Amino acid sequence: MNSVASRVREGGSSEPALTVDWLVPTIAAAAATSLYAPVVMGVVRQWYDEPDTAYGAWLVAGAAFVVARRCRALRTTPSSPSNLGFILLLGALAVCAVGLLAGDLLLLRASGPLVAAACVLYLFGTAHLKLLAAPLGLVLLAIPVPRIIVAHLTVPLQLVASQLAESTLEILNVPVSRSGNLLTLPDVIVLEVAQACSGLQSVMSLVAVAAICAAVVPLSVGRGLLLLIAAVPVAIVGNGLRVAATALLTVWIGEAAVRGMIHELTGHLAFLVMCGVLVGLVFLTRARGARRGVSA
């Protein structure tokens, strides 16, 4: 009787504890869902409505792939909850509140991954946060750049693309004169480097590719950051060369080079070449890292 009673008492005492253990995360998950579900839907809708931001969907897919690959490590890594996560959570929620009050979509959207990181640190500890840092970074990069920033960057990039194209054509001995973003070619052909050809989309898409490569390979934090930084000049130079190639095709075959399938094909080929350069940089940095490891 005593043993049965003790088991009953033990069972009765453990059930409330189990309920409490599940109650707090359930309430937190419900609150996070109600707060961030409209935010997530807004981002997804923007990806669908604005093709220039569709790279975000690939970043989220890359994040999901990395998490799937690290599931075993996440399960086997011991948990060591940290109270620092609660402090970071308060900071992330403050960012969310500022975004809500100021109507700033970027702050509101960026607070989501920050809240997730703080919760991982608070519930599971630093080791789990390190394993999930790359996927959370990919999700953060998936947030579309605000239109006002896009507007400020477009014109300078148009001019840079025009200058690079002009220099390339001069090296190839093709007569050209430039006025702003207008290139005057032989037979008085005027080629305008439009906003869509500024290279900003190439920069953002190539940074996304670099981030996915850095997370999937994976690279160290330092090499990953270098790859992200390198993606910017690679995209800018690659876009300038693409504009020069379009100018050459315009001289050879006329206006068909700047319209329809040929124009789209040159854009796709240029982006593939840029991706190839990034992949080459990934293997180069890994090879150097391996040689240093052996020499050490």
Backbone phi and psi for residue 143, each to the nearest 5 degrees, phi listed first: -70, 125
Percent helix / strand / coil, the chain, rounded to 5:
85, 5, 10
Per-residue pLDDT at 24: 59
Give the whole-angstrom CA distance, residue 154 versus residue 204.
12
Q: Regarding beta strands 182-185 and 177-179, do their DSSP bridges make them parallel or antiparallel, or are they unpaired?
A: antiparallel
Per-residue pLDDT at 8: 39
Which of 245, 156, 249, 235 has the alpha carbon at shortest distance from 199? Answer: 235
Residue at 51: amino acid letter: P
Edge-to-edge strand list for the sheet holding 182-185: 177-179, 182-185, 189-192
pLDDT in tens, the chain (296 residues): 444 344 434 444 444 444 545 665 677 677 777 888 899 999 999 999 988 898 999 999 999 999 999 999 999 999 898 889 889 989 998 999 999 898 889 999 999 999 999 989 988 999 999 999 999 999 999 999 888 888 888 889 999 999 999 999 989 888 888 888 888 888 767 888 887 788 888 899 999 999 998 888 877 888 888 889 999 999 999 999 999 988 888 888 877 777 778 888 888 899 999 999 988 888 876 655 545 543 43
Q: How many residues does the chain have?
A: 296
Residue 149 near residue 134, CB atoms below 8 Å? no
Residue 163 near residue 240, CB atoms below 8 Å? yes
Mapped onto helix, strand or coil, the DSSP state of residue 180 is coil
Beta bridge partners of 189: 185
Beta bridge partners of 183: 178, 191
Residue 193 near residue 162, CB atoms below 8 Å? yes
Give the whole-angstrom CA distance, residue 3 versus residue 121.
41
Give the whole-angstrom CA distance, residue 243 versus residue 181.
11
